[in-house]
Structure 1
Amino acid sequence: MSNELIINSTPTGDRIALLQDKRLVEYHIEQSEPQFSVGDIYLGTVRKLVTGLNAAFIDIGYEKDAFLHYHDLGPHLNTLNKFTKEAMTQNGKNAKVEKIKLDEEIDKLGKIDKVLTKGQPILVQVVKEPISTKGPRLSCDISIAGRFLVLVPFANGVNISKKITSKAERNRLQKLMSSVKPKNFGVIVRTVAEGKAIEEMEMDLRDSIAKWEDGIKKLGNAKPNDRIIGEMSRATSMLRDLLNNDFDNVMMDSPEVYQEAKDYVHHVAPEKEKIVKLHTGKTKLFEQVGIEKQLKMLFGRSVSLPGGGYLIIEHTEALHVIDVNSGNKSNSEQDQEATAVSVNQEAAKEIARQLRLRDMGGIIVVDFIDMKKAENRKKIQDLMRDEMRPDRSKYTILPLSKFGLMQITRQRVRPEMNVSTVESCPTCGGTGTITASIAVSEIIAQHVEHLVSKQNEKDLTILVHPFLFAYFTKGFPSIRMKWFFKFKTWIKLREDSSLGLTDFKFLNRNEDEIELSS
């Protein structure tokens, strides 16, 4: 399976697409000035204690106070608070986790007002970004994510990912990390560490410790709401989590993002540096690799399946509902049970993809087509587990009920991804009345004649919808060829599926858009 990461930079931020065998499986939008990303560590201030919820509201600079529950304080809260105070008074210079004496762990069933006080400064980490009307969700169980391991200050244990099943490999990793980790640092070994050499593991450990120490140095001059340690950009963090031997292409159209990604890959995996490429072509990056078309087809209310069935995806405040329909597949199998199994298998694969793609979280209820045989229901459940295995979010899948319903819970740490697939008519602006939209070709021709004959423009390029592109270029002689004979210059045409059917843009030789007179 090939993996590709495609990053398109826009004035408002980066669009990040993860492709597996050319199919879009994850899509993210990172704002130019991201705030309160998962993994960020802030110096917050306790604003209010709510004993009824056994939680506190923390001010970290967001418009709404962030939420910190007692269960998210972590067992080493007292040590964290002592260390934070020491680092702030000593300007962070001599504050070393290895030197501090670990305090007694807090009571797992304690009360929030016994361990925190109003107005107290506290070091917190964002575990859930602001969603809808809610502020960020916080934790005091601080961790620093690396490529092969997660560093946990104020702990001493070594935990191995449950997905590493080999007993010999678990023992190797346990002994290895126990021998190299510093005092008062715990380590969680990630699944991708399986089979890795000690040199790679040690380098990752040193990088995480350096990141922690650089952040602690800021505490001496930090003010309330300051970000102490920032998570790396979404694109780089995806490279950190996903980069493996199956990764064969990382492409972006921004020199700055290209350099950042190249530097990171050079540092962690020099042998993979050649896969990082900068797109310099005239065609838009997402257009060239076919992502724009996939976005239009995959984010609608209805999603087609390869065999003729389709999904209907509905979102409510409480949960997401996905209905599986057979469509024109119903006549292609021998009996109703075979049809149901075939459609449900295709649906399970697409649903697992849609959950990642839209980053749907919370409760998801899937209404599969009814199947009478228990072994067929078990087959669909096993297939869903297999298809969701690459998902990096935590999830739980329950067996199908006798009504054909499957319940899935999936962790949500960011707002759900949504791409509008409904376009307002570019001609009527949504009013429902148009004036001769078929005349768009004549309008374009008039602009061509004016720009070439009257303004003497050279090297004109026209961006048009694929339908218009075909209209101007197909046949012999094509309309574009007739323009060449008439104006003695070649007019470049370029497809852009992000444009409406009757939209178009003229570009000059410098690729700058030409303002057209109406």
Structure 2
Amino acid sequence: MSNELIINSTPKGDRIALLQDKRIVEYHLEESEPHFSVGDIYLGTVKKMVTGLNAAFIDIGYEKDAFLHYHDLGQNINSLNKFTKDVIAKRQQNGRLDNFKLEAEIDKLGKIEKVLGKNSPILVQVVKEPISTKGPRLSCDISIAGRYLVLVPFSNGVNISKKITAKAERQRLQRLMSSVKPANFGVIVRTVAEGKDVEELERDLKDSLAKWELGVKNLLDAKPRDKVIGEMSRATSMLRDLLNENFDSVIVDTPELFQEAKNYVHNIAPDKEKIVKLHAGKTKAFEQFGIEKQLKMLFGRSVSLPGGGYLIIEHTEALHVIDVNSGNKSNTEEDQEATALSVNREAAKEIARQLRLRDMGGIIVIDFIDMKKAENKKLIQDIMKEEMRTDRSKYTILPLTKFGLMQITRQRVRPEMNVQTQETCPTCGGTGKISASIVVSDVIEHNLEHIIIKQNEKKPTILLHPFLHAYFTKGFPSLRMKWYFKYKTWVNLIEDTSLGVTEFKFHNKYGEEIELNG
């Protein structure tokens, strides 16, 4: 299975698409304005204690105070609070903990007012981004994620991922990490560490320790609401979590992002550095790889299945509902049970992809087509489990009920990803009435003549809808060829499916947009 990461920089932020065998399976938009990302660590202030919820609201600079529950304090909150106060008071100048005396762990069933005081400083980590009307969700169980390991300050345990099942390998990793980790730091060994040698694991541990040291240095002079440790960008964090021998290419379309990705891959896997490439084509990266078209097809209310069936995806405040329909598949199988099984198999695979693609979370209820045989119901559940195996979010899948309903819970730590798939007509603005659309070709030719003759532009480029592109380039001689003979300069035409059928843009030979009058 081939894996490709395509990163497109836009004025609103970076768009990131993960492709598996050319099909998009994950899509993220990393906004350019300040954002509270999962993994960021802030110096917050306790604003309000809510005894009834056994929780507190913390000010970290978001418009709504962030939420911190007692169960998210972590057992070593007293050690963290003592360390934070020591660093702020300059009694502790670095992040080393070998001479730091850990405080007693808190009671798992205790009360938050016994641990925190109003207006006191507190070091917190974002575990869930602001979603809908809610502020960020926080934890004081601080951790620094690396490629193979997760570093946990104020702890001494070594925990191995449950997905590493070989007893000998678990013992090897346990012995290895126990011998190399510093005092008063715990380590969680990630699944990808299986089979890795000591040099790679030790280098990853040192990188995480350096990140912690830098955070403590920032904390020395930090003010309330300051970010102390920032999670890496969404693109590089995906590389950290996903990069393996099956990764074919990482394609970015700006020199700055290219350098960032190349440097990161060089640090974590020097042999993979050559897979990072700068997109140099005249066509946009998302356009060239067919991502724009896939996004429009995959984020609608209705999603087609390869065999003729389709899904209807509805979103409510409480849960997500997915209805599976057979469509024109009904007459292609020998009986109703076979038809239902065939459509449900395709639906299970597509639903697993949709959950990851849209980052749907909370409760998801799927109404599969009714099947009578118990083995068929079990098969659909097994397919869903297998397809969701690569999902990085925590999830639970329940068996189909007697009504053919499957219930899934999936952890949501970021706002759900949505792409606008319905467009307002660019000409009528949604009124339903337009002037004759055929005149758009005349408007383009009029503007072209003005730009070349009056403004003396050479080799202009026109971005336009594929319909218009075909109109100007098909046939012999094509209209574009006639322009060449008329104006003695070549006009470059580029298809752009993000434009409406009557929209177009002119660029000069340097790629700058040309302002048009009227």
TM-score with structure 1 length normalisation?
0.98
Q: Is the 8 A contact 2:83 2:92 kept in 1?
A: no
For the residue of structure 2 that corresponds to 1:52, the secondary structure is helix
Q: Which residue of 2 aligns with 1:66?
A: 66
Q: Is the 8 A contact 1:303 1:312 kept in 2?
A: yes
Give deviations 1:156-204, integer Å, cap 9, x for gaps.
1111111111111111111111111111111110000011011000000
Q: CA deviation at 1:477?
A: 2.3
Q: CA deviation at 1:273?
A: 0.2
Give deviations 1:251-297, integer Å, cap 9, x for gaps.
10111111111111111100000000111221111111111111111
Q: Is the 8 A contact 1:92 1:217 kept in 2?
A: no
Distance (whole Å) between structure 1 residues aligned to residue 80 and residue 130 of structure 2: 25
Q: Which residue of 1 aligns with 2:502?
A: 502
Identity %: 78
Indicate how the Cα distance of structure 1 residues 284 and 95 shifts in structure 2: closer, same or farther if over 3 A, else same. Answer: closer
Give the aligned residue type for 1:287. Answer: E
Q: Which residue of 1 aligns with 2:200?
A: 200
Matched, 1:359 2:359: yes
Distance (whole Å) between structure 1 residues aligned to residue 270 and residue 202 of structure 2: 16
Give the aligned residue type for 1:98. Answer: D
Superposition pairs of residues 74-473 of structure 1, within 5 angstroms:
74-90=74-90, 92-94=92-94, 96-473=96-473
For the residue of structure 2 that corresponds to 1:399, the secondary structure is coil
Q: Is the 8 A contact 1:91 1:217 kept in 2?
A: no
Which segment is superposed worse, 431-440 or 54-63?
431-440
Give the aligned residue type for 1:243. Answer: L
Give deviations 1:377-415, integer Å, cap 9, x for gaps.
100000000000111000000001111110010000010
For the residue of structure 2 that corresponds to 1:428, the secondary structure is coil
Give the aligned residue type for 1:18. Answer: L
Q: CA deviation at 1:94?
A: 4.6
Q: Is the 8 A contact 1:255 1:278 kept in 2?
A: yes
Distance (whole Å) between structure 2 residues aligned to residue 326 and residue 24 of structure 1: 24
For the residue of structure 2 that corresponds to 1:331, the secondary structure is coil
What is the aligned residue count? 518
Q: CA deviation at 1:6?
A: 0.6
Q: Is the 8 A contact 1:87 1:95 kept in 2?
A: no
Q: CA deviation at 1:87?
A: 1.3
Give deviations 1:342-394, integer Å, cap 9, x for gaps.
11111111111111111101001111111110100100000000000111000
Q: Is the 8 A contact 1:5 1:250 kept in 2?
A: yes
Give the aligned residue type for 1:157. Answer: G
Q: Which residue of 2 aligns with 1:5?
A: 5
Indicate how the Cα distance of structure 1 residues 242 and 34 shifts in structure 2: closer, same or farther if over 3 A, else same. Answer: farther
Structure 2 residue runs without a partner (length 5+): none
Q: Is the 8 A contact 1:92 1:218 kept in 2?
A: no
CA-based RMSD of the aligned residues comes to 1.1
For the residue of structure 1 that corresponds to 2:52, the secondary structure is coil
Distance (whole Å) between structure 1 residues aligned to residue 96 and residue 261 of structure 2: 31
Which segment is superposed worse, 435-444 or 201-210?
435-444
Which segment is superposed worse, 103-112 or 31-40?
31-40
Which segment is superposed worse, 476-485 or 393-402?
476-485
Give the aligned residue type for 1:454. Answer: K
Q: CA deviation at 1:501?
A: 1.1
Q: CA deviation at 1:431?
A: 1.5
For the residue of structure 1 that corresponds to 2:471, the secondary structure is helix
Structure 1 residue runs without a partner (length 5+): none
Q: CA deviation at 1:95?
A: 5.2
Distance (whole Å) between structure 1 residues aligned to residue 326 and residue 468 of structure 2: 34
Give the aligned residue type for 2:309. Answer: G
Give the aligned residue type for 1:285. Answer: A
Q: CA deviation at 1:92?
A: 4.3
Distance (whole Å) between structure 2 residues aligned to residue 329 and residue 94 of structure 1: 66
For the residue of structure 1 that corresponds to 2:53, the secondary structure is coil
Q: Is the 8 A contact 1:462 1:494 kept in 2?
A: yes
Distance (whole Å) between structure 2 residues aligned to residue 423 and residue 390 of structure 1: 33
Give the aligned residue type for 2:223. Answer: K
For the residue of structure 1 that corresponds to 2:330, the secondary structure is helix
Q: Is the 8 A contact 2:94 2:213 kept in 1?
A: no
Distance (whole Å) between structure 2 residues aligned to residue 180 and residue 84 of structure 1: 25
Give deviations 1:66-89, integer Å, cap 9, x for gaps.
000000000001111111111111
